[in-house]
Amino acid sequence: MEVLIKEQRLNNIIEKYILELYPVVKSVTFTTKDVYLASGDKSERRTIQRNIINVGFKGGEMQNSPTLTLRRIRGSINRMFGLNIDESGSNWGIEYKMI
């Protein structure tokens, strides 16, 4: 059985999941970015629209480096939601900023 979830609903679930699991995260927002995939031969090159998860860390409350924490978050949401962020040509990406 296949379950269809609207993009906004998925974004809300991912946001809630990250905020509840990682107390050092202050905000989670979503944007889109056009990404040119240039690997492979010329017939495989194309532009895709990537959904970017923007994670805002609470700067004064970090005990680990932001990149280590982001790596943990990325692995966690990959396992939970199957986004395949680390795969080439993935429709999902993740970035961070300090707030």
The answer on pLDDT for 2 being more than 60 is no
The answer on pLDDT for 3 being more than 60 is no
Q: State the Cα–Cα distance between residues 14 and 8, nearest whole angstrom.
A: 10
pLDDT, one tens digit per residue, over 7-49 is: 788 899 999 999 999 999 999 999 999 988 877 677 677 888 9
Please report, for the chain, the start and end positions of each structural domain, with discontinuous segments joined by +.
Answer: 23-98
Q: State the Cα–Cα distance between residues 63 and 55, nearest whole angstrom.
A: 16
Q: State the Cα–Cα distance between residues 61 and 31, nearest whole angstrom.
A: 25
Question: Quick one: how far is CA 3 from the chain centroid?
Answer: 21
pTM over 0.85: no
Q: Are 53 and 93 in contact (CB under 8 A)?
A: yes
Please name the helix (run of DSSP H) or strand (run of DSSP E) that holds residue 18, with its range, or none: helix 7-21
Q: What confidence category does residue 1 fall into, taking pLDDT thresholds of 50, 70 and 90?
A: very low
pLDDT, one tens digit per residue, over 65-94 is: 888 999 999 999 999 999 989 888 889 999
